[in-house]
Chains A and B, each alone.
Chain A
Amino acid sequence: MTSLTDLVFILVVVIDFFLLASSRLGAAIRAVATQGALLAALPLLLLEGGHQVGHVLLLAAGALAIKGALIPWLMFRAIREASIRREMEPIVGFVPSMVLGGIGVALAFAFSSRLPLPGGEAHPYLVPTALSTVWSGMLLVVSRRKAVNQVLGFLVLENGVYVFGLLLTGIMPVMVEAGVLLDLFAAVFVMGIVMFHINREFASLDTEKLSALKD
C-alpha cells in the first residue's frame, strides 16, 4: 500500500510539471481532472484505523465528483464556447516556468521535513507534494495570459491546499470539507461566467486586454 501511495503523490507532482509545460488547453484540463481523481483516491490510501470510514468515503466521493468530473466538464464547455485550443505566448515561457517549477519542487522536498506540524506527518511525501502543487498552481495563475489557464492554475492551487488538508482529516469535520468543495465549485462557476463575458466583450480570452480598457 505504501508504494501505491508514493506513486500517487509522485504522479501528482509529475502532472504539475506537465501543466507547466503544456500549451494545449484540452490536454491541460484532462491533466487537472486526472490530478483531481488521484487526489480523491488519496484519503482512502491514507486511511488508518482511527478515522471514521464514512467520513473519508464521503470526502473521496465528493472530491472525485467535483474535481474529476464536474469542473473539467465546465472547463471543456468554456473552451468549446470560446473556441480556443492553446496558450500561445505565456508571460513566463514554458521552459522557464518548468525550471521554476522544478526549483520549487526541489525546495519543497528538501525543506518540508523541517516544518513544525501539529499532527505529525501522515506520509513523508504529503507536505512536499502539497507545497509543490500550491507553488505550481500559483505559477500558472500569474504566468499565463488566457483566462482558462488561470482558472486551471487556481484549481491546481486548490488541489495543493486539499492535499495539505489531508493532514487534518481526523480533525476536520465533514461540513468544513463540504463547504470547501462547494466554494471551489462556486468559484469555478463564477469564473466560467466571467470568462464568457470577457470572451463576448473582446472576442478573446486574453486577460492582457482587460488592462487596456479606456473610460
Chain B
Amino acid sequence: MVLRTALHVVALLVLPPLLLGVINRVKSIFGGRRGPPLLQPYLDLAKLLRKGAVYSRTTTWVFRAGPVIGLAATASAGLLLSMGGAPAPIAFAGDFVLFAYLLGLGRFFTALAALDTGSSFEGMGAAREVTFASLAEPALFLCLLVLARATGSLSLSGMLGPDLDAAWSSAAPGLLLAAIGLFVVALAECSRIPVDDPNTHLELTMIHEVMVLDHGGPDLALILYGAAMKLFLFGALLSRLVLGHGAGALASEALFLLGVLAFAVAVGVVESVMARLRIVRVPQLLVGASVLSAFALVLLLR
C-alpha cells in the first residue's frame, strides 16, 4: 500500500505534462498534421526553467508568489485524491471541500498576480476567470455530493474507493450524469475548448491565458506545470469514477493510467471537433452542467 501511494505521488509529479502532449497529438491527428513529439511539453518546461525571470517594477511580492502558490495548492489537492484505488496520502471526512478550495486558492492567487501587474487587460482576464469559476464551483460540488451520496462516504478516498463499484450497479444513471457534469467542469477549470482556448492569443476572447501574459521564464513554467497538473487531477477523478477498479493491484493501476490517457484523448477530441463558445454562452454551459449534476443528485436522493 505504501509503495502504491508513493507511486501515485510520483505519477502526480511526472505525468501531467504528458497529458498535454497527448492532447496536442490528438489535435494534430485531427488536423492532418504529425504534430510535436509526445514529450514536447517536458522540453518546453525545461527550456522555460533555464531562462531568467523579468519582473516589472510595479509588481509586488504577490506577483512572484502567484505561480508558486498556484502550483503548491494544486499539488496539495493532488495528495487528497486517491488514484487507481489505493488510498490517498491524506484522507479525512470532508476532504472534498478542501480539494475544491485548494483549487480555488490556486486560482485566487493567479488572479491576484494578474491584478498585481496593474494592466487593465490582465484585470479583465482575472474578472472573466473568477466569473466562470464561480459558475463551475456549484457544478463541481454537486458532482462530489452525488459521489458522496452514492458511496455514503465523505472523504475523496472513500468516494473513489471500492464502494463506488457497488454504487454503479444501483445508481448508474445518476453517476453517469455526474460524470458528464464533471467532464464539463474539467474543461472549464482547465480552460480548454469549448470554454477557453489555451492556444489563442486574441485579446477579445482570452480568459485564462490573459492572466499569465506577464509571467516569464520559471514562473511561466510553474504556471504551465500547475495547469497540466490540474488537468491530471480531473483526469484521475474521472478515470476512477468511470472505469472503476480492476481486479487486483496491477490491473487497477493499469486501468487508472489508461483512464487518464483516455481522458486526455477525449479532451483532445472535444477540442478538435468543437468550436469555442462565445463568452456569453459559457455561463449557459456551466449552469447546464450544474443542472445535470443537480438532477443526478435528485435521482440518488429519491
Residues of A within 8 A of B (CB): 3, 6-7, 10, 13-14, 17, 21, 94-95, 98-99, 101-102, 105-106, 109-110, 113, 124
Provide the bound-state CA to CA distance between A4 and B299, in Å. Answer: 15
* In-complex Cβ contact of B172 among A3, A98, A102, A113 (8 A): A3
Q: How far is the CB of A125 from chain B (nearest CB, A)?
A: 8
Considering only residues 248-302 of chain B, those with a C-beta below 8 Å from chain A are: 283-284, 287-288, 290-292, 294-295, 298-299, 301-302
Q: Does B292 lie within 8 Å of A14, measured CB to CB? A: yes
* A102-B294, A105-B298, A109-B302 as given contacts; A21 in contact with B288, CB under 8 Å: yes
Q: Does A102 lie within 8 Å of B295, measured CB to CB? A: yes
Q: How far is the CB of A144 from chain B (nearest CB, A)?
A: 15
* A6-B173, A99-B287 as given contacts; A17 in contact with B292, CB under 8 Å: yes
Asked whether any CB of chain A lies closer than 8 Å to the CB of B177, the reply is: yes
Which chain A residues lie closer than 8 Å to B290 at the CB level? 102
Provide the bound-state CA to CA distance between A40 and B99, in Å. Answer: 44
Which applies to chain B's interface (DSSP): helix, strand, loop or mixed? helix
Q: Does B284 lie within 8 Å of A109, measured CB to CB? A: no
Which chain A residues lie closer than 8 Å to B177 at the CB level? 10, 14
* In-complex Cβ contact of B298 among A3, A6, A109, A113 (8 A): A109
Other A-B pairs beyond A98-B284, A98-B288, A102-B295, 4, CB < 8 Å: A3-B172, A7-B173, A102-B291, A109-B298
Which chain A residues lie closer than 8 Å to B298 at the CB level? 105-106, 109-110
CB-based nearest A residue for B287:
A95
Nearest first, the 7 closest Cβ-Cβ pairs linking A and B are A102-B291, A109-B298, A10-B173, A106-B298, A95-B287, A94-B284, A21-B288
* A95-B284, A98-B287, A98-B288 as given contacts; A106 in contact with B294, CB under 8 Å: yes
CB-based nearest B residue for A93:
B284
Which applies to chain A's interface (DSSP): helix, strand, loop or mixed? helix
Provide the bound-state CA to CA distance between A95 and B135, in Å. Answer: 11
23 contacts between A and B (CB under 8 A): A7-B173, A10-B299, A13-B295, A14-B177, A14-B295, A17-B291, A17-B295, A21-B284, A94-B284, A95-B283, A95-B284, A95-B287, A98-B291, A99-B287, A102-B291, A102-B294, A102-B295, A105-B295, A106-B298, A109-B298, A109-B299, A109-B302, A110-B302
Considering only residues 95-153 of chain B, those with a C-beta below 8 Å from chain A are: none
Q: How far is the CB of B9 from chain A (nearest CB, A)?
A: 38
* In-complex Cβ contact of A99 among B291, B292, B295, B302 (8 A): B291
Q: How far is the CB of B20 from chain A (nearest CB, A)?
A: 31
Which chain B residues lie closer than 8 Å to A99 at the CB level? 287, 291
Which chain A residues lie closer than 8 Å to B294 at the CB level? 102, 106
Provide the bound-state CA to CA distance between A74 and B172, in Å. Answer: 37
Which chain B residues lie closer than 8 Å to A21 at the CB level? 284, 288
Provide the bound-state CA to CA distance between A21 and B298, in Å. Answer: 20
Considering only residues 171-220 of chain B, those with a C-beta below 8 Å from chain A are: 172-173, 177
Which chain A residues lie closer than 8 Å to B295 at the CB level? 13-14, 17, 102, 105-106
Q: How far is the CB of B228 from chain A (nearest CB, A)?
A: 31
Which chain A residues lie closer than 8 Å to B287 at the CB level? 95, 98-99
